[in-house]
Amino acid sequence: GDVYFVMELVEGPTLAELLDTRHASGLWLPAEAIAQVVLEIGDALDAMHAIGLIHRDVKPANVLLDRERDRAVLVDVGVAKRRGDEVDGAGTPGYAAPESFLEGSSESPETDVYGLAAPMFCALTGRPPFGSGQLMQVITRQLHDPLNLPSHMRPGLTRAVDEVMSKALDPEQKRRFASASAFAMALARALERAPKHAAQEEAAAL
């Protein structure tokens, strides 16, 4: 007569833990690893969107890195919503799209495009795209401040990476990529264009 919920066991660190470890050692996360994560999480988001759900809280702490199967897994759908439902604002300031907190704004798959781009920006540069702090201060920066381009923060990144990230993090939903996987594939292609010596940045200092 008991009700219980069975979940898959995923053993490994979160992306947040991996980034903290590498940055504490003065190392960038390699471009190849970022490309793998963004492609796999992009596919997970597309699967959610296909059944009408929006995650709303994609962040490094909600991406598990499965050691056993060498894959990235998106977790924590506690604030997910069905598209069109009226619910309270939710998400993590600095990673969630600004419309997730603004009254009268509707959320869409493009909301999760922003939500995926923000942790990938952190993986590329070591920090969220518009910083962290008080909610309204972060939202104001998201809506009005120009993006600090990744290539200005990490040597070896190309203009193509800047362009992809700028589009995915646009404050206007309609200007972003139409799907999470479209953004993921664009970023993976842009990262492939990096010079070979820059792509192998295991020893590059922050």
Give the residue numbers marked as catalytic: 57
Distance from C-alpha of 137 to C-alpha of 82, rounded to nearest angstrom: 28
Q: How many CA atoms lie less than 13 Å away from 10 in the CB half-sphere?
A: 17
Q: Which of 161, 153, 162, 152 minimizes the C-alpha distance to 190?
A: 161
Q: How far apart are CA 81 and CA 78, in angstroms?
A: 9
Give dist(CA 94, CA 139) in Å, integer: 8
Beta partners for residue 64, in sequence order? 14, 73
CA dihedral 112, 176, 120, 95 (to 10 degrees): -50
3-state SS class at 87: coil
